[in-house]
C-alpha cells in the first residue's frame, strides 16, 4: 500500500503577523516556518505508524512550494517517509495547490492520501476535499482515528456533537486531526537518514488560480478590558446582559 | 441565474445556522436582482421546508431520496452540482462547518469555481467579488477576490444573525439519479454526545484551563455552564492530562469556536489557545494572575480565584434568570 502525505509549510504558531506593501502581503521577515501541525502530528505520524506495522509499503511526502520549503521537508523526512516531492510552484489558492498534487498523484497512483484538517496560515481546510474531487476519489474529513485492514479503511471522524465511524475501500483521501496519532520528535537516526532520502523537484504545467487575495487587514485592538470585582458577579451578569447583550 | 444554498438538517430539523446561510444567500440574490433556491436533501416535512421562505428563500428544491438522510459527502456534492446546473446558479452558498467543508470544495473543483472558505462578509462587487475571511487563525483578515464565473461561498456560522420574516417557499421535487460511487463510504455507527450543547455550534461556552487544578474541580464549572445553557471546553494541557475529553480541546490544534460569549477560567491565554477562540464576540476571563496574557484579549476580566468566583457567578446567573422569567 502506497501512501501520499500532503505537507504544507506555515509560520510558527507564535508568529506575529506583520503586513507590508500597502497591506497586500504578509511579511516573512523573522518568521520561522514549521510543518503544519495537522500534517506533521497527525497525517505524517499515522502514515509512519502504518508502515511500521507493515500495512503500508511506501510513504511519499508532497508539498507545493518554492525552494525555501525544503528545510521543512527535510524535517518531515527525518520523522519518516521514503521520498519527498516538491512541486515547484508558488500557488495562490487551494484550487491551484490541489490541482498540482492531483496531477502528480494521478500519475503515480496512491492507495491512501492523507492531509491535515487545515493549514494554520489560510485556515481553509479545503485542499483534501478538492483533491478527492479532482481524483474522483472518496473522501473522509476530520478523522480522529484511522485503521486499515485488507484494503479497507475504518475511520472515526468528528461530526457535529459527536463522532461517526465510517468504512470505505481504498483508494481514499482522509484529512486528519487530533486523535489520529501522537506527536513525535525526530531522532538522530532519522535526521541522518533524511539527508540521503531523495527530495524530487517537479516542474508542473501551470494551473491558473481562481481566486486572489487583494489585501490584508489586522484585527482592531480590543477596546480596553473592563475589570469587574470578584465580589460583584451580579455586576458582571448585568454587563453581559445590558452591554454585551449575550445573555 | 439564481443563487443556490445547501441546507442541511438533523433528522428533519433545520438548525439556526442554516437559516443564517439562507438569509445570507437571499441578501446576495437581492443585490444581484435574482432569487434564492435552497437545496434540501433527504426526509424533511413540507412545513419545515416552506419555512425557509421566512429567511428569504423563494424556492426549495427537495431531493427526497432516503439514502440522503445520512450524510454522504459525495452524494451531497453530486446533488448540489445537479441543483446548481438546473437553476443555472452562478453563486453557491454553504456553511463553513463540517458538512460544508466536505462538500463545497468538491463542488467548486467540479464547476471550476473559485471558493472562499469561512466568509465573514457579503461580497463586495465594486472591485470584483471580494469577500473577507480570517487568516493566520484570526491574527489577520484577507480580502479574497473570486475570479471565476461561478462562485462558491462557505459562510462562517454565527456571523450574520438570522431574523425571521413573513414568507413561504415553494417546494419543488427534484429527482436525480445518483451513481453507486456516491455511496461508497458507509456509515457504520454514529455516536452523538447527547444532552450536552455541541461545542462547535454553541452560542455560549465556559472553558477551563490548568488553573482549575484537577478534574475533581470541574463540577463548579459545569454548574455555571448548565445555568447558562452553555457548552464546556478546555485548554490543551487539560485534555492532554485527560481531565476532560479530547473533543473539548479548543485552540490551534483543537477545535475552533465562535460563540457570542466565551468564559475562560484559569486559562493563561497562550497564542495557540487564542487561535481557537478569538472569533468569539465577547470574552470574559477569570484568572487569579492580573498579568495573565488572556486579559489583553478579553472584554471583561475578573481577577480572582476560580474556586470562589465560579460559584458566585453561577449564583448571579441563577438570580438573573429568576428576575427575568
Ligand atoms: C504548536 C502548539 C500548539 C498548541 N495548541 C494548543 C491548543 O490548541 N490549545 C491550547 O489551549 N493550547 C495549545 N498549546 C499550548 C499553549 O501554548 C499553552 O501551553 C496552553 O494553552 C496553556 O494552557 P492553560 O492556560 O490551561 O495552562 P497554563 O498556561 O498553566 O495557565 C493556567 C492559568 O491559570 C491561572 N490560575 C491558576 N490557579 C488559578 C485559580 N485558582 N483561579 C484562577 N486562575 C488560576 C494561572 O494564573 C494561569 O494563567 C499549543 C502549543 C504549541 C507549541
Ligand atoms: N502547499 C501545499 N502543499 C502540500 N499540501 C498542502 C499545501 N497546502 C495545503 N496542503 C494540505 O492540505 C491540507 C489542508 O490545507 P488547506 O486547505 O490549505 O487548509 C493541509 O493540512 C495539507 O495537508
pLDDT for res B196: 63
> In the predicted model, what is the mean pLDDT of residues A147-158?
96
Structural domain that includes position A94: 2-221
Same domain, B141 and B242: no
Pocket of ligand 1 (CB under 6 A): A 13, 37; B 209-211, 235-238, 251-254, 266-268, 270, 272-273, 276, 287-289, 292, 305-307
Tell me the residue length of chain A.
Answer: 247
pLDDT for res B194: 60
Q: Cell digits for A169?
A: 475501500
* Angle of helix A94-108 versus helix A127-135 axis, rounded to 10: 40
pLDDT for res B167: 95
pLDDT for res B195: 58
State which H helix or E strand residue A236 sits in.
helix A233-242
Taking the CA atoms of B100, B103, B108 and B109 in sequence, report the sign of the dihedral they define: positive
Task: Say yes or no for a CB contact (<8 Å) between A19 and B298.
Answer: no
* Spans of chain B, pLDDT less than 70: 194-196
The verdict on the CB of residue A61 being under 6 Å from ligand 2 is: no
Task: Say yes or no for a CB contact (<8 Å) between A233 and B313.
Answer: yes
Residue B303 forms part of a structural domain: yes
d(CA A217, CA B195): 40
Number of domains composing chain A: 1
Same domain, B144 and B213: no
Residue A214 has pLDDT above 70, yes or no: yes
> In the predicted model, what is the mean pLDDT of residues A50-65?
97
pLDDT for res B159: 93
Same domain, B54 and B130: yes
Residue A44 has pLDDT above 90, yes or no: yes
Same domain, B71 and B24: yes
**Residue in B closest to A228 by C-alpha:** B302
The verdict on the CB of residue A118 being under 6 Å from ligand 2 is: yes
Residue B80 DSSP SS3: helix
State which H helix or E strand residue B321 sits in.
helix B306-323
State which H helix or E strand residue A83 sits in.
strand A83-87
Chain B residues touching residue A231 (CB < 8 angstroms): 312
Same domain, B16 and B125: yes
CATH number for A102 = 3.40.50.620
The verdict on the CB of residue A36 being under 6 Å from ligand 2 is: yes
Nearest to A120 by CA among B256, B237, B279: B256
Q: Return the residue whose CA atom lies nearest to atom 18 of ligand 2.
A: A119
Decide: B311 and B286 in contact? Cβ < 8 Å. Answer: no
> In the predicted model, what is the mean pLDDT of residues A180-200?
90
Measured in Å, residue A129 CA sits from the centre of ligand 1 at 32
Q: Which residues pair with B130 in a beta bridge?
A: B124, B145
Residue A159 forms part of a structural domain: yes
- Which of A9-18, A183-192, A203-212, B291-300 is predicted with the least confidence, judged by mean pLDDT? A183-192
Of B185, B193, B313, the CB nearest to A138: B185
Task: Say yes or no for a CB contact (<8 Å) between A230 and B308.
Answer: yes
Residue B196 forms part of a structural domain: no
Same domain, B18 and B159: yes
Of A132, A140, A225, the CB nearest to B301: A225
Residue A185 forms part of a structural domain: yes
| Residue to substitute in B136, B206, B244, B251 for testing ligand 1 pocket (most ligand atoms within 8 angstroms of CB) | B251
Residue A180 forms part of a structural domain: yes
| Residue to substitute in B214, B270, B276 for testing ligand 1 pocket (most ligand atoms within 8 angstroms of CB) | B270
Structural domain that includes position B57: 3-183
**Residue in B closest to A174 by C-alpha:** B102
Residue B195 forms part of a structural domain: no
Give the domain-ending residue among B183, B212, B236: B183
Same domain, B245 and B162: no
Task: State yes or no: ipTM above 0.90.
Answer: yes
Note the ligand closest to the C-alpha atom of A89: 2
pLDDT for res B122: 98
Same domain, B143 and B259: no
Ligand 1 atom nearest the C-alpha of B268 is 49
Give the domain-ending residue among B151, B183, B215: B183
Note the ligand closest to the C-alpha atom of A37: 1
- Phi-psi sector, B138: left (phi>0), alpha (psi -120 to 50), beta: left
Over the range B251-260, which residues count as b (16 or more CB within 10 Å of their CB) and which as e? bbbbbbbbbb
pLDDT band of residue A195 (cuts 50, 70, 90) is confident
> In the predicted model, what is the mean pLDDT of residues A149-159?
95
The verdict on the CB of residue A93 being under 6 Å from ligand 2 is: no
Q: What is the DSSP letter of A38?
A: I
Residue B105 forms part of a structural domain: yes
Of B190, B298, B315, the CB nearest to A162: B190
Same domain, B48 and B122: yes
Decide: A153 and B142 in contact? Cβ < 8 Å. Answer: no
Chain B residues touching residue A209 (CB < 8 angstroms): 114, 147
Decide: A46 and A180 in contact? Cβ < 8 Å. Answer: yes
Q: Which residues pair with B282 in a beta bridge?
A: B261
Residue A9 has pLDDT above 80, yes or no: yes
Task: Say yes or no for a CB contact (<8 Å) between B141 and A233.
Answer: no
Average of per-residue pLDDT values in chain A: 95
pLDDT band of residue A160 (cuts 50, 70, 90) is confident
Same domain, B39 and B159: yes
Number of domains composing chain B: 2
pLDDT for res B193: 72
Distance from CA of A196 to the nearest CA of B (A): 31
Same domain, B212 and B164: no
State which H helix or E strand residue A100 sits in.
helix A94-108
CATH number for B31 = 3.40.50.620
The verdict on the CB of residue A5 being under 6 Å from ligand 2 is: no
Residue B114 forms part of a structural domain: yes
pTM over 0.90: yes
A33 CB within 8 Å of a chain B CB: no
A55 CB within 8 Å of a chain B CB: no
For chains A and B, CB pairs below 8 A equal 275
d(CA B223, CA B312): 11
Note the pLDDT tens digit of each residue in A97-130.
999 999 999 999 999 999 999 999 999 999 999 9
Give the domain-ending residue among B123, B154, B183: B183
Amino acid at each position: 500500500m502506497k501512501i501520499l502525505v500532503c505537507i504544507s509549510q506555515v509560520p510558527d504558531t507564535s508568529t506575529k503577523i506583520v503586513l507590508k506593501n500597502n497591506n497586500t502581503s504578509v511579511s516573512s521577515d523573522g518568521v520561522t516556518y514549521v510543518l503544519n501541525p495537522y500534517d506533521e502530528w497527525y497525517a505524517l505520524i499515522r502514515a509512519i505508524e502504518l508502515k511500521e506495522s507493515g500495512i503500508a509499503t511506501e510513504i511519499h511526502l508532497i508539498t507545493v512550494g518554492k525552494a525555501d520549503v525544503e528545510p521543512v521537508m527535510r524535517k518531515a523526512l527525518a520523522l519518516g517517509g521514503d521520498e519527498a516531492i516538491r512541486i515547484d510552484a508558488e500557488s495562490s489558492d487551494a484550487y491551484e495547490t490541489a490541482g498540482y498534487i492531483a496531477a502528480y498523484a494521478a500519475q503515480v497512483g496512491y492507495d491512501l492520501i492523507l492531509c491535515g484538517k487545515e493549514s494554520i496560515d489560510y485556515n481553509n481546510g479545503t485542499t483534501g476535499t478538492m483533491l478527492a474531487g479532482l481524483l474522483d476519489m472518496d473522501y473522509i474529513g476530520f478523522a480522529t482515528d484511522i485503521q486499515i485492514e485488507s484494503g479497507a479503511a475504518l475511520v472515526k471522524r468528528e461530526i457535529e456533537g459527536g463522532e461517526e465511524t465510517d468504512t470505505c475501500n481504498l483508494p481514499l483521501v482522509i484529512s486528519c486531526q487530533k486523535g489520529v496519532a501522537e506527536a513525535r520528535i525526530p531522532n538522530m537516526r532519522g535526521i541522518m537518514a533524511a539527508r540521503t532520502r531523495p527530495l524530487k523537484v517537479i516542474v508542473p504545467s501551470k494551473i491558473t488560480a481562481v481566486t486572489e487575495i487583494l489585501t490584508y487587514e489586522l484585527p482592531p485592538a480590543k477596546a480596553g478590558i473592563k475589570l469587574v470585582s470578584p465580589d460583584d458577579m451580579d455586576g458582571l451578569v448585568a454587563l453581559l446582559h445590558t452591554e454585551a447583550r449575550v445573555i | 441565474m439564481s443563487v443556490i444554498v445547501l441546507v442541511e438538517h438533523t433528522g428533519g430539523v433545520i438548525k439556526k445556522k442554516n437559516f443564517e446561510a439562507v438569509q445570507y444567500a437571499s441578501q446576495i440574490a437581492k443585490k444581484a436582482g435574482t432569487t434564492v433556491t435552497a437545496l434540501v436533501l433527504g426526509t424533511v416535512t413540507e412545513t419545515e421546508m416552506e419555512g425557509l421562505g421566512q429567511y428569504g428563500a423563494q424556492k426549495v428544491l427537495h431531493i427526497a431520496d432516503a439514502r440522503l438522510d445520512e450524510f454522504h459527502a459525495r452524494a451531497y456534492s453530486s446533488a448540489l452540482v445537479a441543483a446548481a446546473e438546473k437553476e443555472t446558479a452562478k453563486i453557491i452558498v454553504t456553511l463553513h462547518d463540517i458538512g460544508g467543508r466536505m462538500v463545497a470544495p468538491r463542488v467548486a473543483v467540479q464547476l471550476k469555481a473559485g471558493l472562499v472558505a469561512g466568509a465573514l462578509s457579503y461580497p463586495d462587487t465594486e472591485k470584483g467579488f471580494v469577500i473577507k475571511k480570517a487568516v493566520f487563525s484570526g491574527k489577520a483578515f484577507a480580502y479574497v477576490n473570486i475570479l471565476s464565473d461561478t462562485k462558491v461561498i462557505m459562510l462562517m456560522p454565527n456571523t450574520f444573525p438570522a431574523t425571521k420574516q413573513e414568507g413561504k417557499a415553494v417546494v419543488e421535487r427534484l429527482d436525480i439519479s445518483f451513481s453507486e460511487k456516491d455511496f461508497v463510504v458507509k456509515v457504520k455507527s454514529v455516536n452523538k454526545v447527547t444532552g450536552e450543547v455541541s461545542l462547535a455550534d454553541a452560542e455560549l461556552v465556559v472553558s477551563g484551563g490548568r488553573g482549575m487544578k484537577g478534574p475533581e474541580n470541574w463540577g463548579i464549572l459545569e454548574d455555571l455552564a448548565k445555568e447558562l445553557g452553555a457548552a464546556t471546553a478546555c485548554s490543551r494541557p487539560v485534555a492532554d492530562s485527560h481531565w476532560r475529553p479530547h473533543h473539548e480541546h479548543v485552540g490551534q490544534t483543537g477545535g475552533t469556536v465562535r460563540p457570542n460569549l466565551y468564559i475562560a477560567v484559569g486559562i493563561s491565554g497562550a497564542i495557540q489557545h487564542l487561535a481557537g477562540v478569538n472569533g468569539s464576540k465577547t470574552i470574559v476571563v477569570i484568572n487569579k494572575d492580573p498579568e495573565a496574557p488572556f486579559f489583553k484579549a478579553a472584554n471583561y476580566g475578573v481577577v480572582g480565584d476560580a474556586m470562589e468566583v465560579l460559584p458566585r457567578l453561577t449564583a448571579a446567573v441563577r438570580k438573573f434568570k429568576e428576575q427575568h422569567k
